[in-house]
Chains A and B, each alone.
Chain A
Amino acid sequence: EVQLLESGGGLAQPGGSLRLSCAASGFTFSTYVMNWVRQAPGKGLEWVSGISGSGDYTYYADSVKGRFTISRDNSKNTLYLQMNSLRAEDTALYYCAKDRANSIAAAINYWGQGTLVTVSP
């Protein structure tokens, strides 16, 4: 059974940093693209970032480019999102999400339950 367990969310000040983690199990982690998708309170879904199975290729939404960094440790079956220069508009529930294949052009087929990030003074 595929399981994705996010952690690391919490309260951060504007301009501050947080590091999210996602522990994966139930599949061969290194052979799938992984993503972060966020959802602001009461709003829709926004894709944030994706990373290839090997970690060689990374992709970002314009809204986070230059501030967030996605990475993965395939030896630990863990996905990360380093979030710097946080803004109030980054406040959201952050989902870890697995693609159906090792391609950014493959639909997301599994989602974690999310970790909440709140950016406030």
Chain B
Amino acid sequence: DIQMTQSPSSLSASVGDRVTITCRASQGISNYLAWYQQKPGKAPKLLIYAASTLQSGVPSRFSGSGSGTDFTLTISSLQTEDVATYYCHNYNSAPLTFGGGTKVEIK
């Protein structure tokens, strides 16, 4: 199975800061990588798929990059409504796997 390692596990940043979350796959997954945002008590929401394609309706301050084993989610200017846990997701082949999550808070 492909393991997905996210870092950091949590971070605290100020409003307006640039925030970067990384995700590493234990083997190459091309660009079969998605990012999800989950707010407390809510279902996850798709932000990015195919490593860098922004889902319709998602603010442009979110962006994704990477291919193969190393991927990044960037929030260009952190907003209060971005407080959430973010997960990367490998969907290259079954069994599908998720990263452990990154909890983002406001400083």
Question: Do these two chains interact?
Answer: yes
A residues contacting B by CB (< 8 A) are 35, 44-47, 50, 59-62, 95, 100, 104-114
Quick check: which of B12-20, B44-52, B71-79 contacts chain A, the rest being far away? Answer: B44-52
| Residue from A35, A109, A111, A114 within 8 A of B55 (CB atoms) | A109
- Chain A residues positioned under 8 Å from B101 (CB to CB): 44-45
Q: Taking the complex as formed, is B92 at the interface, i.e. its CB lies under 8 A from any CB of chain A?
A: yes
Whether B43 lies near A114 (C-beta < 8 A) is yes
- Chain B residues positioned under 8 Å from A59 (CB to CB): 94-96
Whether B44 lies near A111 (C-beta < 8 A) is yes
- Chain A residues positioned under 8 Å from B100 (CB to CB): 44
Whether A107 lies near B91 (C-beta < 8 A) is yes
Whether A100 lies near B95 (C-beta < 8 A) is no
Whether A108 lies near B46 (C-beta < 8 A) is yes
| Residue from B87, B92, B94, B95 within 8 A of A45 (CB atoms) | B87
Bound form: Cα–Cα A114–B93 in Å: 24
B residues contacting A by CB (< 8 A) are 1, 32, 34, 36, 38, 43-46, 49-50, 55, 87, 89, 91-101
Whether A44 lies near B91 (C-beta < 8 A) is no
- Chain B residues positioned under 8 Å from A100 (CB to CB): 49
- Chain B residues positioned under 8 Å from A61 (CB to CB): 95
Whether A47 lies near B43 (C-beta < 8 A) is no
Given contacts A44-B101, A62-B1, are A104 and B94 in contact (CB under 8 A)? Answer: yes
Bound form: Cα–Cα A44–B101 in Å: 6
Given contacts A44-B87, A100-B49, A105-B32, are A95 and B43 in contact (CB under 8 A)? Answer: yes
Whether A104 lies near B96 (C-beta < 8 A) is yes
Other than the given A44-B100, A107-B49, 6 more pairs (CB < 8 A) read: A47-B95, A104-B93, A105-B93, A107-B50, A108-B89, A111-B45
**Chain A: minimal CB distance from B36 (Å):** 8
Whether B46 lies near A109 (C-beta < 8 A) is yes
Interchain residue pairs with CB less than 8 A apart (21): A44-B99, A44-B101, A45-B36, A45-B89, A47-B97, A47-B98, A50-B94, A59-B96, A60-B95, A62-B1, A95-B43, A105-B32, A105-B92, A105-B93, A107-B34, A107-B46, A107-B50, A107-B89, A109-B55, A110-B46, A111-B45
